[in-house]
Amino acid sequence: MSASKPSSPVLPVAEAADIDAAVRLPVLVLLAFAILWLLTASALGLVAAIKLTRPDFLASCEWLTFGRVYPAALNALAYGWGVSAGLAVALWLMARLSRAVLPGGGLLVVAAVCWNVGVKLGILGILAGWSNSVPWLEMPRQVMPFLLVAYVCMAAWVVGALRAGSSPRLYVSQWWVLAALFWLPWLLTAAGAMLFFAPVRGTVQSVVAAWYAHGLLALWFAPLGLGLVYYLLPKLLGKPIRAYYLAPFGFWFYALFSAWAGAARLADGPVPAWTQAAGAIASFMLLLPVAVIAVNLFGSFLGGGLAALGRGVVLRFAAVAALFFVLSTLLYVAMALPGVAAITRLTWFAAASDYAVIYGVFSFAVFGAVYYLAPRLVGREWPFASLIRAHFWLALAGLVLAGVSLSLGGLQQGRELTNAKIPFADVTQHTLPYLQAATLAGALLLLGHLAFAVNFVKLVLCPRHRAASAAAPVPASLLAAPELELEVHAS
Amino acid sequence: MSSIPSSLGPRLESAAASDDSIQRVHAGLLGQKPEPEPGGYALAPLALLGLMSALILGCCIFFVRNRGGFDPLVYNGRIDPKSAANTSAALTPEKIIANGKAIYGLSCIQCHGPEGKGQPSLFPPLAGSDWANGSEDRVIRILLHGLKDPIKVKTVDSTLDFASSNKMPSLLAPPYGYSDAKISFVLTYVRQAFGNNAPPITAEKVTAVREEIAAHKGEFTQADLLAVP
């Protein structure tokens, strides 16, 4: 197909080829780790989901009891997949937008290996029964300093790209990515210190734990996803972000309120009422940045953009991520209302909105970005177009099915738990169909990830594919990018 | 933008804008004032300002109503600790006993004595008394309307045929005029002090008995009391 495409006479050189070449090795290594972790996490998650409905499944193996597999799956997803993939795309995006040709990616690869060894030890620790009882921080505390050092080495590289780059301007994606890079170590050190190394006492512990859990999702995963979407939309649509002058406003308000919103997770819980109320109003105020971000992102689709959704898979991934960002924040706002919290807390509903962030926002944005950037890094096309489409539809189906079944199941569970007339065993029994649907969703996701992994491995590793393909390396003209023209919105 | 360039297909998606131009165009947009609508105002910033004001107002109201008095021990924001302290629901058993003891010291001690032993042939004992420790309905009646004429008082180690012209005064009548809650406090105290060990009496129970005997005039006698369970 590439042979039939006429080359553009205006810009015959591949865009940013030297920049891409400099980050090729570290980005591909990080992505390879990330995809391995994604498969691990989805497999562990599937085992955990099956165990919820069929407790006798793999029951004889101590390492695979539910209390270990479930946190292992979550941590593999968050730190194995999430942080590795997040850093990979952040590095690429930062290098490109700062126009920095990074020297010496070798050190970065060492740090990436260290990080992944650390996560591996942590996950094994959880499976061996040494986990902590703090959600999203179950990895044994001994690996945490190690992880932190590895993380700082990697993130410093990305920040260095910004300083070394020759671009005179900052784009909104860079704010989001940069902020996320600083927020994660802040969250990790503060929560690690206050929960494990110099534990605070009493209810403050649960406040810190809630702050961390919310921060990980709202200050690491969501901002990275947003940064990518803000980049991919103009990149593929060829249109500027709508009402861009509001974008800084959205960023600062989000940063201001998200850090506080975590306390809303404790609504109706055992912490002082004013803490819950403060968390709730911080969540309500999030409506403001979400409105801005929604105008920015969805506004870009106005006027012909929707048709482009039908053509490009990357754009579709980005659009789903934007949609789920708005959706998940609305869910958090709803759950901060005391009346709603009384029903949803401690149910699957709360879990559903967390998955919406980590999967719907972050992972979808990363998938889209990888489908765009990987062929440019390698200099070859993706081997299987059908697997890309299969990945998108399987992931979307899995995401929607899991989200719908867990939130409906959670609502029913919550309503029945607050009704003293219904025995607890019956409540559990009634959630079973929803959990079965969620298990099916897990299987769909795993299939989608397999399609992604096969494509990626073939793209990167298999030289035979290169020889067999009609056109050897992609001609540079196809990798060129036209100029974005300034367009006045009101006209 | 003239047209969105057609994609090369999912195997290699084409860019529609270069990084450099994305940054240049958006840097220009950042400084650009929003275009006014036909009415003369830009709608988006105004709408945003309205949303912001509404949110801040709503959040302030929410916070004031749910702050729980900034009390670190109040976990339910809808309870105001100050008003909650006055209702008996907020009373701990210790507070009830302390209240009861204070009332006893004011109103009972002069007749029934600091140890609840009474005074031989003048005032009957409360320590170990089967009346004080027995039926709630009877002892509440005694306090509400008083008691006269001879009675038989059984204590732990003896039985006393008490006969004196002294009467037990009604605590509803002046100078006492006690509320149901106060009567329940002092009775709970009497039933748990002086070596007594009977269950507490609630204000609700006192109210119920008072309403039941509203038609009764004057002090009760032993015969009246034995007629109720």
pLDDT 10s digits, A169-185: 889 999 999 999 999 99
- Ranges A215-224, B26-35, B79-88, B154-163, most confident: A215-224
Contact criterion met (CB < 8 Å) for B71 and A490? no
Distance CA A360, CA A327 (A): 10
A385: which chain B residues are within 8 Å (Cβ-Cβ)?
A: 9-11
Confirm whether A7 is domain-assigned.
Answer: no
Distance CA A364, CA A355 (A): 12
Give ipTM to 2 decimals: 0.83
What is the share, in percent, of chain A residues with pLDDT greater than 90?
A: 54
Predicted TM-score (pTM) of this structure: 0.74
B5: which chain A residues are within 8 Å (Cβ-Cβ)?
A: 238, 482
Listed residue (B228, B1, B184) closest to B95, CA to CA:
B184
Name the residue with tokens 């009384």: A342
| A146: containing domain | 15-460+476-487
Q: Which of B29, B52, B71 sits opposite A240 (nearest CB)?
A: B29
Contact B127, B195 (CB under 8 A): yes
Inform me whether the pLDDT recorded for B4 exceeds 50: no
A261: which chain B residues are within 8 Å (Cβ-Cβ)?
A: none
Contact criterion met (CB < 8 Å) for B22 and A371? no
Confirm whether A8 is domain-assigned.
Answer: no
Distances (CA, A) of A317 to A51, A322, B11: 31, 9, 14
Written as six digits, the tokens of A242 are: 């709508």
Residue A369 is predicted with a pLDDT of: 96
pLDDT band at B219 (very low <50, low <70, confident <90, very high): confident
Give how far the C-alpha of residue A362 lies from the chain's centroid of Cα atoms, to the nearest Å: 2
Dihedral Cα A242, A248, A249, A251, nearest 10 deg: 100
Q: Which of B18, B48, B71 sits opposite A484 (nearest CB)?
A: B18
Confirm whether A399 is domain-assigned.
Answer: yes
Q: Is A237 on the interface with B (CB under 8 A)?
A: yes
CATH number of the domain enclosing A146: 1.20.210.10
Q: Is B215 on the interface with A (CB under 8 A)?
A: no
B28: which chain A residues are within 8 Å (Cβ-Cβ)?
A: 486
Q: Give the residue-averaged pLDDT of A431-447.
A: 94
Which has more confidence, A397 or B130? A397
Confirm whether A55 is domain-assigned.
Answer: yes
Confirm whether A52 is domain-assigned.
Answer: yes
Give the number of domains in chain A. 1
Confirm whether A10 is domain-assigned.
Answer: no
B20: which chain A residues are within 8 Å (Cβ-Cβ)?
A: 99, 167
Confirm whether A466 is domain-assigned.
Answer: no
How far is B87 from chain A, CA to nearest CA, in Å?
20
Confirm whether A455 is domain-assigned.
Answer: yes
